[in-house]
Structure 1
């Protein structure tokens, strides 16, 4: 019987062949990698003096922020930070 490259019903014939795709470089499962990466990101942010703030806003306000951020080519977080700084500066005067 000849070995045909497209014949996947006899998978034992292909067990020694490398499959195409990205090689696995990390032995940990993906969900563990995500947790570790998030923890490292929080540590980096903290060392850079950043603090995480979460709040809920109405959907229409969210859309307005999103549109303005896209128009100014900044992230929503950067836009909100700039608006807060501007508001606090004007209230101190």
Structure 2
């Protein structure tokens, strides 16, 4: 496979998959979906996590390939401690 074919193949693959930040941003638009994020964080952190509220979000795009979104969530762990999660 030459360079041109490889570049084309990579572009096709990029077009097929969604980015994590894009998915989370849309998922968190509805509070009913907080359970999905709570489940992910519970498994990832190894303790029960409950989302209390979303605090703020921000985005930045300097170029098409240089885009990010951040969401800050206030959550409680299973010890009752308040934690701030930056996603």
TM interval, short-chain normalised: under 0.3
The structure with the largest alpha-carbon Rg is: 1
TM-score, normalization by structure 2? 0.24
- Structure having the larger proportion of residues in helix: 1
- Structure having the larger proportion of residues in strand: 2
TM-score, normalization by structure 1? 0.23
> Of the two structures, which has the highest relative contact order with CA contacts closer than 8 Å and spacing of 6 or more?
2
